[in-house]
Amino acid sequence: MRRNHQIPLGAIVKGLALTAGHFFRNMRIHVAHLFGRRLQEKGMVTFQYPEERRPFSPRLRTRHRLTMRADGSPRCVACMMCETICPANCIYITAGEHPDPHIEKQPLKFDIDLGVCVFCGFCVEVCPEDAIRMDTGILEFAAYSRQEMILTMDKLLMKEGAQEPDRALMKENA
Amino acid sequence: MTEIVITMGKIAFVLFCVFNLLYVLLWLERKQSAVMQDRIGANRADIFGLRAWGLFHPIADAIKMICKEDFMPAAADKFVYTAAPFLAVFFSLVGFAVIPFGDTLTLGGHTIHLQIADLNVGLLYVFAMLSLGVYGFILAGWASNNNFAFLGGMRAGSQMISYEITMGATVMGLVILFQTLSLNQMVQAQGEYFFGFIPKWGVLLQPLGFLLFLIAGIAETKRIPFDLPEGESEIIGYFVEYSGMKFGMFMMTDFIETILLSAMLTTLFFGGWQIPYLHADGFHLGGLRLAINPVLVSFLQVAAFGLKVFCFCWLLLLIRWTLPRFRYDQLMALGWKFMLPLSLLNLAITGLVVLL
Amino acid sequence: MPKITIDDKEISVEGGTNIIAAAQRLGIEVPHYCYHPGLSVAGACRMCLVEIEKMPKLQTGCSTLATEGMVIKTIAHSAKAKAAVQGVLELTLINHPLDCPVCDQAGECGLQDYYMKYGLYNSRMRDAKVKKEKKASALGPHVMLDQERCILCSRCVRFTHEITKTNEIGIFNRGDHSYIDVVNGRSLENNYSGNVVDICPVGALTDRDFRFQCRVWYLQESDSICPGCSTGCNIKIHFNVRRRHIAGGRRVQRLKPRFNEAVNQWWMCDEGRYAYPSIDENRITTPSARLAAAHQRMDWRDAIDQMALALREALAAYGPESVGVIASPQLTNEDLYLIKKLFVDVLGIAAVDYRMPPNRSAKNDDFLLRADRNPNTLGAHLIGLSPFGKEISTPRILEAAAGGRLQVLYVFSTDLVAVYGEAPIANMAAHVPLMIYQGTNHNRTSTLAHLVLPAAIYAEKNGTFTNYAGRVQHLKPAFAPLAEAMPDWKILCKLAQALGHDFRYADEEAIFEELANSQPAFAGITYAGIGSHGWPIEKERVLSFVTA
């Protein structure tokens, strides 16, 4: 008879011993924790998000922001390099005249549709003005409607009222 | 009249225990698997901020299932489709009627047998109910009018047949040894000792029988590694068209059967409510004697029964969260080519030993 | 015919041909900024240097004429020329601000293109760039000047000197301090000022109208014919239909002239260039019927049925005299042919005309713009929509309408109110049971009409125009008609079918084929024959029809 009909009984017993071993070891630690003992050991590998967070890698790409000039206006000159390179077509810029003739061009509207964004970071790479970055540390932007997933320029500039960047989690940003 | 009240009280007590254990198992299913896998497990459902290690998740489950849309396929057989989950739950619950969960309790002049019904063919009754239970699944699969559900139902049917034979042949060994089909008498018989001090439990009399019964029993509950009728990753199974509480009842059936199997294993192989050396009047071991209130003895025995059942539930969960699902040919090969011959061999040897 | 060799390829060219033009005919590129085939040679940019055998120094390709036996090596084959061109490019870029991100020229810029091809070196400049006084400033109503980006090629100066002869632009100061500007505080205001933007090889002169509207790499282009006057300048429609958030969703971003030696060379007038907003603005989008004062949107099917019913009843009860049709020279030959076929030939209606009294304020400007602001007047005439010869019958049709003698008046793309004034047309509309306006944009006439039908505008149409000189030119659709609009010929076919006549054409080409077969003036012309540069009908044939 073909051998693949056989049930690997030895392996089954070994497997049960392994899982039972984990069960008892972890239970012992959990019970010890209840009495305030052996707190340096962990009975699980789980991080209790959102109370407990892992530190982000400094290279992690998080929600976008637009950098500002000293006067609080966006550094962006609406050259549309990011809009052009964007593989998801999620950036929508409308350009207009800047009052300062030496700056010339500025974005009147700068929308990013996070519902479409793939977080590739091309927009940051391609920007000639260092006007867009993905270093906010914000990864929680779920919303109840597609409209709410669209970031407008105000939110991207992270002015007052906007969600503050969670820089504590970004280890020394390069 | 008093008899009826007492019986109703016993039924209520058993159902209370079974449903509470069911609740605990739903919680344990999550938490035990988590601890085994170095995780924490569900712990987010809270009542006014009290999380209680995720104990409220089964409540959340129940609320969710009750609130969900009660879907029924347009081409389903409406009556059978609705009746199937009730059948499944019903037949798994009635099995508890003949399980003795204690000896006798004398209260206010009444002697109460701690068993709902002491049938002299209790063992056959349990098997009959388990066999009938499969109708729930086959009918669910058939009434859904869905190929996959039907396939799941058929798998359930063939799996039941294959493993019930092994199960039946296995317990025959015990029947030969104890000379009875009454579960209570079987438990009573397990209160004796080898050489005066080793408890004469079924597992020691029939170690091979215990193993075979355990494996066949898991197959009967249709849980991993024998969950081919469900097989979420292949056919989803007989309940593919079920939603809400109807689906919930199938899930409940699985757990109730787990409890029933644990109770059967306890009763047949681990001395039922027996605590070694504890007798109606107190503690006996060799020359040592310790008198204990008979009511307290009864309580201890019921507690011992509960503890044994719980330990088996834990073991069954351990197995469920360790092993992967068998292939169908493996399942059949295991049942027919491995377990059936072994159980027949077990039966033959037992018969031979008793005869000699 | 001197025979010359460029990069080992031989060619015979006419005497007086310069090396750039000769190389172009061989498909060899000689980079250049200041040379433009439509302007005089300046030799200012030094980009077109080539190596010529037996000449000790490199020569400029623009000013060196081909002579017998010349052996030339261009930048592709001559290391010497390449080194020289790189040097020129380096010099040109010394003070260039490199503000490509904000420059509208980026993407179609000579500096970018040649730098990517011939440059790509590291800058050796250690000194700061010289900044000009002014950043961007307007030179006139249409043109923006950025002196920092200018490479002083002088094309714009030569254009205003030689083509428009208006001399608004000049180069001031010398050397590093040179800059271009308008002379004596004048403004660059002539009807051809937009062309300096086209010829500027860099971003120094940009279009105010197009400023910051759309990056050029988002644009798609399509060949068309300007409908602004009877010259029929060849144009390209630059449009963006992929990124609709740009410029408020407007499809057409700008028009550019397309070279046609026989019609407009490299140029087009500002009047035509900046007329494109009508393609997207104020368009009639759905059929509608006037109920009391307001227009009520309706189905195409209902609109066609209503027209067919009215026409049928009018013809049955009052005869062909009760229907008037005012066609339009804005329509293509194909549309006009179907108007003639349906109304004149099939229904027997005599009151069909397309002509309006001439607008006395519109004049020829001796260059491209003509007094007749319609692209297809000659086409309408040659198709035979001038039933009474030289006499314009439109006033008679309107008179009949005002007198209550018409049951149906069908107006195509003609704003009667603009010609005759509000009161007479309103009075007339009150006396006609059904006035149909079929056109592209809302106007006061469409407001007065009882039934309004949306027609496709020229940028959405496939078809032909016949310009004043008898040149049949092909315009191609850039994109699909807006909303529910349909090409006029399709509407006419549907109407004819509703009237029980079998008008079925696969496309515009099929109509034109029938037109060419039935109208002697168009005999032998095909779409393939028209190509991208048009098909001139012989003068004698045009004249014979005009006089007939």
Domain for residue C530, yes or no? no
Identify the closest residue of chain C to A127 by CA–CA distance: C101
Identify the closest residue of chain A to B333 by CA–CA distance: A5
In a shared domain, residues C21 and C104: no
Edge to edge, what strands does the sheet with C234-239 contain?
Answer: C220-225, C234-239, C252-257
Instruction: Name every chain A residue with its beta carbon within 8 A of the beta carbon of B34.
Output: 44
Taking the complete model, does pTM exceed 0.80, yes or no? no
pLDDT of residue B34: 92
Residues 6+ apart with CB under 8 A from C124: C90
Where are the extended beta strands (E) located within C61-117? 71-73
Range of the domain at C35: 3-93
Give the B-side interface with A, CB within 8 Å.
32, 34-40, 318-319, 321-323, 326, 329-330, 333-334, 337-338
User: C486-539: per-residue pLDDT in tens?
Assistant: 999 999 999 999 999 989 999 999 999 999 999 888 988 999 999 999 999 888
Q: Which of C136, C213, C215 sits opposite A104 (nearest CB)?
A: C136
pLDDT-based confidence at residue A72 (cuts at 50, 70, 90) = confident
In a shared domain, residues C105 and C85: no
Q: Are A92 and C100 an interchain contact pair (Cβ–Cβ within 8 Å)?
A: no
3-state DSSP helix/strand/coil % of chain A, to nearest 5: 30, 15, 55
Identify the closest residue of chain A to C214 by CA–CA distance: A95
In a shared domain, residues C75 and C157: no
Range from B113-122, C206-215, C462-471 carrying the lowest mean pLDDT: B113-122
CATH code of the domain in which C299 resides: 3.40.50.740
User: B139-156: per-residue pLDDT in tens?
Assistant: 999 999 889 999 999 999
How close does chain B come to A147, measured CA to CA in Å?
28
Give yes or no for a cis peptide into C329 (omega within 30° of 0).
no
Where are the extended beta strands (E) located within C210-291? 220-225, 234-239, 252-257, 288-291
Domain for residue C159, yes or no? yes
Q: Strand pairing of C288-291 and C451-454?
A: antiparallel
CATH code of the domain in which C43 resides: 3.10.20.740
pLDDT-based confidence at residue A173 (cuts at 50, 70, 90) = very low
- Is the CB of residue C133 less than 8 Å away from at least one CB of chain A? no
Cα–Cα distance, A170 to A172 (Å, whole number): 6
| Joined tokens for residue A144 | 């109840």
Q: Are B322 and A18 an interchain contact pair (Cβ–Cβ within 8 Å)?
A: yes
pLDDT-based confidence at residue A90 (cuts at 50, 70, 90) = very high
Cα–Cα distance, B92 to B85 (Å, whole number): 11
Q: Are B32 and A23 an interchain contact pair (Cβ–Cβ within 8 Å)?
A: yes
Domain for residue C436, yes or no? yes
CB neighbour class for C511 (10 Å; exposed up to 12, middle 13-18, buried from 19) = buried
In a shared domain, residues C189 and C62: no
Q: Are B321 and A26 an interchain contact pair (Cβ–Cβ within 8 Å)?
A: no
In a shared domain, residues C70 and C148: no
| Residue A69 vs residues A76, A129, B51, C9: alpha-carbon distances, Å | 9, 11, 48, 57
Domain for residue C133, yes or no? yes
Average pLDDT, chain A: 85
In a shared domain, residues C395 and C333: yes
pLDDT-based confidence at residue B287 (cuts at 50, 70, 90) = confident
Domain for residue C272, yes or no? no
pLDDT of residue C357: 80
How close does chain A come to B33, measured CA to CA in Å?
8
Cα–Cα distance, C129 to C131 (Å, whole number): 6
What are φ and ψ of residue A160, in 5° steps? -55, 145
Identify the DSSP state of C129. Answer: P
**pLDDT > 90 fraction of chain C, expressed in percent and rounded:** 69
Identify the closest residue of chain C to A129 by CA–CA distance: C101
pLDDT of residue C452: 94
In a shared domain, residues C382 and C417: yes
Domain for residue C491, yes or no? yes
**ipTM of the predicted structure?**
0.84
Instruction: Name every chain A residue with its beta carbon within 8 A of the beta carbon of B333.
Output: 5-7
Domain for residue C229, yes or no? no
- Is the CB of residue C217 less than 8 Å away from at least one CB of chain A? yes
How close does chain A come to B123, measured CA to CA in Å?
29
User: C246-263: per-residue pLDDT in tens?
Assistant: 888 899 999 999 999 999
In a shared domain, residues C86 and C129: no
Helix (H, G, I), strand (E, B) or coil at C231: coil
User: B62-93: per-residue pLDDT in tens?
Assistant: 999 999 998 889 888 899 999 999 999 999 99
pLDDT of residue C538: 83
Instruction: Name every chain B residue with its beta carbon within 8 A of the beta carbon of A12.
Output: 322-323
In a shared domain, residues C396 and C479: yes
Helix (H, G, I), strand (E, B) or coil at C178: coil
pLDDT of residue C125: 84
pLDDT of residue C197: 96
pLDDT-based confidence at residue B51 (cuts at 50, 70, 90) = confident
Last residue of a domain, one of C158, C188, C212: C212
Provide mean pLDDT across the span B254-263: 94
pLDDT of residue C133: 67
Identify the closest residue of chain A to B328 by CA–CA distance: A5
Give the number of other CB atoms < 10 A from CB of residue B82.
14
In a shared domain, residues C451 and C324: yes
Three-class DSSP labels, chain B: CHHHHHHHHHHHHHHHHHHHHHHHHHHHHHHHHHHHCCCCCCCCCCECCECHHHCCHHHHHHHHHHHCCCCCCCCCCHHHHHHHHHHHHHHHHHHHHHCCCCCEEEECCEEEECCCCCCCCHHHHHHHHHHHHHHHHHHHHHHCCCHHHHHHHHHHHHHHHHHHHHHHHHHHHHHHHHCCCCHHHHHHHCCCEECCCEECCHHHHCHHHHHHHHHHHHHHHCCCCCCCCCCCCCCCCCCCCCCHHHHHHHHHHHHHHHHHHHHHHHHHHCCCCCCCCEECCEEEECCEEEECCHHHHHHHHHHHHHHHHHHHHHHHHHHHCCCCCCCHHHHHHHHHHHHHHHHHHHHHHHHHHHHC
pLDDT-based confidence at residue C234 (cuts at 50, 70, 90) = very high
Q: Which of A79, A83, A111 sits opposite C102 (nearest CB)?
A: A79
Q: Are A19 and B39 an interchain contact pair (Cβ–Cβ within 8 Å)?
A: no
Q: Who has greater pLDDT, B346 or B112?
A: B346
Q: Are B35 and A30 an interchain contact pair (Cβ–Cβ within 8 Å)?
A: yes
In a shared domain, residues C387 and C324: yes
CATH code of the domain in which C182 resides: 3.30.70.20
Q: Which of B35, B319, B337 sits opposite A23 (nearest CB)?
A: B35
Last residue of a domain, one of C170, C189, C212: C212
Does the pLDDT of residue A174 top 60, yes or no? no
Number of domains in chain C: 3
- Contact by Cβ (8 Å): B28, B314: yes
- Work out the angle between the directed axes of helices C300-318 and C488-498 (0-180°, nearest 10): 60
Q: How far is CA A27 from the centre of its chain?
A: 34
Q: Strand pairing of C323-326 and C408-412?
A: parallel
Q: Which of C136, C215, C245 sits opposite A84 (nearest CB)?
A: C215
Chain A to chain C Cβ contacts (< 8 Å): 42
Give yes or no for a cis peptide into C31 (omega within 30° of 0).
no
User: Of C159, C210, C205, whose CA–CA distance to C180 is shortest?
Assistant: C205
Domain for residue C201, yes or no? yes
Does the pLDDT of residue A169 top 80, yes or no? no
- Is the CB of residue C131 less than 8 Å away from at least one CB of chain A? no
| Joined tokens for residue C366 | 């001796």
